A and B are shown apart, each in its own frame.
Chain A
Amino acid sequence: MEGSLNSLALLVNYIFVPGFAYGSQLALGALGVTMIYAVLNFSNFSHGEIMSFGAMITILVTYWFQGLGISVHPLPTALIALPVGIGGAILLCLLLDRLVFSFYRQQRANSVTYLIVSIGVMFVIGGITRFIIGPDDRNFNDGERFVLKARTFKEMTGLSEGVAIKSSQAITVASAFIVVAAVFWFLSRTRTGKSMRAYSNNPDLALLSGIDPNRVVFLAWVITAGLAAIAGTLYGLDKSYKPLVFLHLVLPIFAAAIVGGVGSPLGAIVGGFVIAFSELFITFAYKKVAAYLLGDGVLGDGLLQLLSTDYKFAVSFIILVVVLLIKPTGIFSGKSI
């Protein structure tokens, strides 16, 4: 009995808690990707770097606030700096649209051209970000570290395995929930949100209904930038901020969007969690779990790990390829690409 409870505690601590946090971050990222795909019809590979840029602004403002002695302890200062980060990301996106993407929209460029353009944009933003803040790892989480400490959990339950919940994880899940609920409310209940869905479904008919295409595009960028800055900051709070990480993060984000169904907001959320939990389940070492359930050393002294964590991105790749082979429109039947 105690053995199975201990193994459960292990799984909760190393898979479920981090999975929910990481899944929320991916879901927010994928929601931004899907938004741009739904409205502007292209795969925006620069999304990861927009996240990074937004997080960078948040960090710089956080440092400034810390210098001024402003704090919201026990919450991290970054939470009050976040609105500025969102603003920065919005300005960046509107500038990018004005300087780059609007040109290709007028040319009615095909989606492959857009994709290449967005990769170019990705490198430019990445360069700017590293130029401003440098390539180093930065930890800017100055709030309380834990909501639930492993030792407290052990004392409470008497188990030998602890469950810890970092405050950054709790904040991530909570804010992702609020943001996603707000986006869904906006898209399904407000006239403007419905007009964005209408434009995504049938742009020509949207024009015939008097919907201003420029406004829809503007709003799509604003929402995407907001989501990106929030996702980037939460990821940075949770795992520390390093500009180059966002180059790799694009892959699981796209995998999440595609698994769920590109263009489907609900799909982006589900896809985010599918990818996050798959990565964790496949790269987790089950040795201790097996020891608790079956007894020490019964299954030999291997780590019982399917893949080393170094290969975690391969998991998203495999899922991506399988989904594209079997059901290219994803779980919630988005647009096929």
Chain B
Amino acid sequence: MSYLVSENMVAGYGGANILNSCSIEVDLGQIAVVVGPNGAGKSTAMKAIFGMLPLQRGNVKVLNESINDLPTFQRVKKGMAFVPQTDNIFSSLTVEENLEMGAFTNPRAMITIIEQVYSLFPALKEKRLQRAGELSGGQRQQVAVGRALMTEPKLLMLDEPTAGVSPIVMDELFERIIDVARTGIAILMVEQNAKQALSIADIGYVLVQGENRYTDSGKALLENTDVRKTFLGG
């Protein structure tokens, strides 16, 4: 049984559904990557898993316990953390206050985890008294991931963490994500840079029109000719 199991999720924003039976699982220490064309429902799946969007059908389970009825802010205490694609920092708060808000449910982290976050992202320590909104794109992304790590999550969900950052910063971020996974945290990530993301993935999910099309190890998906042709540009 995986740490996070979501089965047959059906959800949407009123009108037509965006997710039509989508299932995603990830276990501790694993990196799961969700790829797919635009509008496949990747981000929607993440929101549905975190309770930011009500499920019409399906189940989300953590450690085999259904969390369908838990509001978003209480899922944080279950060990889930989410870095949204946009608006993922408190721009008017300082870097340190951002991290402190990450530690809101877990004030102890301000003593223990904060040093780990600073050693993962040394730039943040230097700028800790600066407003997060004044930082560069890559550093904002570090603040966003840092804030999520401060909750001491068992499951870290990232929605396109490398959107809008330079290739160098992107490589750096992927490195850090692997580091985080090695500490025994489950990582669930939606990525636009499918090739690179699948190359570090233990499991890959290819989503099309709100349904699972292919599910396999990242390596196998990269070698699958159908997947390559249709989704990875040859």
- List chain A positions with a Cβ less than 8 A from chain B: 191, 194-195, 197-198, 201-202, 204-213
Contact = CB atoms under 8 A, between A and B. Distances in A.
B192 interface: no
B50 A208 contact: yes
B205 interface: no
Q: Which 3 pairs of residues, A with B, have the shortest CB-CB distance?
A: A210-B76, A210-B105, A207-B72
A209 B147 contact: yes
B84 interface: yes
A210 B151 contact: yes
Contact of B81 (A191, A202, A208): A208
B107 interface: yes
A99 to B, nearest CB: 23
Contacts of B50: 208
A205 B84 contact: yes
Contacts of A191: 100, 104, 107
17 contacts: A194-B93, A195-B101, A198-B90, A202-B91, A204-B52, A204-B84, A205-B84, A205-B88, A205-B89, A206-B73, A207-B71, A208-B72, A208-B82, A209-B76, A209-B101, A211-B73, A213-B73
Given A194-B93, A198-B90, A201-B92, A211 B101 contact: yes
B19 to A, nearest CB: 19
A205 B93 contact: no
Interface in B28-87: 50, 52, 71-74, 76-77, 81-82, 84, 87
Most buried by B among A191, A198, A209: A209
A211 B104 contact: yes
Q: Determine chain A's interface SS by DSSP, over half rule.
A: helix
Nearest to B110: A191
B160 interface: no
Given A191-B107, A211-B104, A201 B90 contact: yes
B97 interface: yes
A209 B147 CA distance: 8
A211 B76 CA distance: 9
Nearest to B133: A201
A191 B87 CA distance: 21
Interface string B92-129: 11000100111011010000000000000000000000
A204 B51 CA distance: 12
B122 to A, nearest CB: 23
B90 A210 contact: no
B24 to A, nearest CB: 18
